[in-house]
Amino acid sequence: MKKKLISILITVTMLTMCACGNSGGKSQDASQSQPDSKVTESESTKENAKDDAKEAESSANSSTTATDPSGAEISIPEEVNSIVVLSPALSEIITALDLGDKVVGYDSYSADIEGLPDSESITVFENITTPDMEQLTALNPDILLVTNETFYDQENPFQTLIDAGTCVICVPNRDNIAGIKSDIEFLASALGAAEAGAALLEDFDTQLNELADIAAKIPQEERKRVYFEIAPAPDMYSCGKDSYINEMLEWIGAENILADQSGWFTVSGETVVAANPDIIFTNVNYTDDPVQEILNRDGWADISAVSSKNVYSVDNNASSRPNHNIIKAMRQMAEILYPDYYTAE
């Protein structure tokens, strides 16, 4: 996949012809000076060829040094022809930048993302956290995109690939909307799609501003308190401040009942009961009926959201992948929370 030019050393042997003038100081005639003229022309031609070869080699191997979102120093190739992406969130950004045709491998969670090559004609990695290094080495992509979930407990796991010429870009999962936008801008620039990235961010900002403008009109006394469930009982999982889901809720005019805690964490049933949310959202998609499971949960019958049956499923992909598509989950929740203010498109 890598184009490497082999430098050819051209050794030119010059035969110097010494023409003797007479003692009278007469100059050489045209026939005597012609051999020197031919040698000079040959030198120029060959030197130009060498310069052109060096310039072509420099262009093929040229790269830009940058710092990726994880803080690592990387060398980004000027020309990107092949990409492997091991994150569905990043895959959605790649397709939004119209770069899906450059993807030569992706994770199994990305298989259904529109804009990527068919899974039957491409290398699919079944494990994001520990991908098959032999497969990666065989593909030898120009760019490998990963998150902090891949080999998170190992030091320099991709050094062999880097030594072979692959640029490995790590984009840690973001905890806020500003970080999501920053990552989109970085990837668009790194992958030579700055114009598409600017258009994507402009559309994202426009929609965010629309939601914020509507949220500003919702009176404080009408604002709903929300519990957002990421994993069900018995090991319930949710989030507080310093998470993009918390910011999504606040952006549309809601209050996260766990905003007094930070990050992502397990939560007890007693905590939710005591907080008594008005609305419960769940993005669990691996149980038969996550909404009904919450409604039937022992000890939760007196929670306002449960007694009024205000428990709803939220699009898992849109709410669990930190990229521009969170706007879909935000609109979905906003229309459930405040139907009189937000209208479906």
Residues of the chain with pLDDT under 50: 1-42, 46, 50, 53-60, 345
Positive or negative torsion for Cα 244, 249, 251, 252: positive
Which H or E run includes 88? helix 88-96
Q: What is the pLDDT of residue 243?
A: 97
Q: What is the pTM of this model?
A: 0.81
Interval 205-217: pLDDT, tens: 999 999 999 999 9
141: nearest Cα among 195, 191, 184: 191
Interval 15-65: pLDDT, tens: 333 333 333 333 334 333 344 434 444 455 545 554 554 444 444 457 899
Specify which residues 227 forms β-bridges with: 280
230: nearest Cα among 216, 220, 241, 240: 240
Interval 230-252: pLDDT, tens: 999 999 999 999 999 999 999 99
Q: What is the pLDDT of residue 152?
A: 75
